[in-house]
Amino acid sequence: MILIGLDPGLGTTGWGVIFAEGNRLGHVANGQIGTRATDPLAARLAALHAQLCAVIAGHDCAAAAVEEVFVNANPQSTLKLGQARGVVLLAAAQAGVPVGEYAPRLVKKAVVGTGAAEKAQVHAMVSRLLPSAKIAGADAADALAVAICHAHHLASARALKGAA
């Protein structure tokens, strides 16, 4: 099964594509989509949407996973993050890809073992779990972590369904 993980952001949105076969995970691709801070908000959201649609279309994804919004100290930043997240969800929905959503603490716990893990710990663990990956940056590492979390949750759900 091919999964795409998405770490939304207005300035940079990370994406990571993995395959999951049972408990085996493998890296397919990863990257970051950036927008120019000098462009109007509508243009930035449109650029994010177009680039993300191209990434999703370029991989035959069976599922997507998106990190949920956390509240920043700056309400304006939280609002912009929410708008970018809406575009990310829209792009996946338009492609007909079912979306799982995960809190940042849950992603960290699934990948590192603790919900209080630092970004560097997440990046290091993603590198160990996907040793062939050349990670494009911190946002791409976070996106791969979201995809790994989703793969683990899907495998658990299948196992529970099979046991029932």
- Please pick, among 67, 68, 118, 142, the residue that the annotation labels catalytic: 67
Polymer length of the chain: 164
39 is catalytic: no
For residue 1, give both structure tokens. 């099964």
Long-range contacts of 150-153 (CB under 8 A, 24+ apart): 150/3, 150/5, 150/63, 150/64, 150/65, 150/100, 150/102, 151/1, 151/3, 151/18, 151/20, 151/25, 152/110, 153/100, 153/102, 153/110
Instruction: Examine the residue annotation and report whether 67 is marked as an active-site residue of this protein.
Output: yes
* Active-site hit among 21, 60, 68, 139: 139
Q: Are strands 99-102 and 63-67 parallel, antiparallel or unpaired?
A: parallel
Q: Rounded to 5 degrees, what angle do the CA atoms 128, 134, 139 make?
A: 85
Residue 84 near residue 13 (C-beta atoms within 8 A): yes
Is 60 catalytic? The answer is no
Catalytic residues: 7, 67, 139
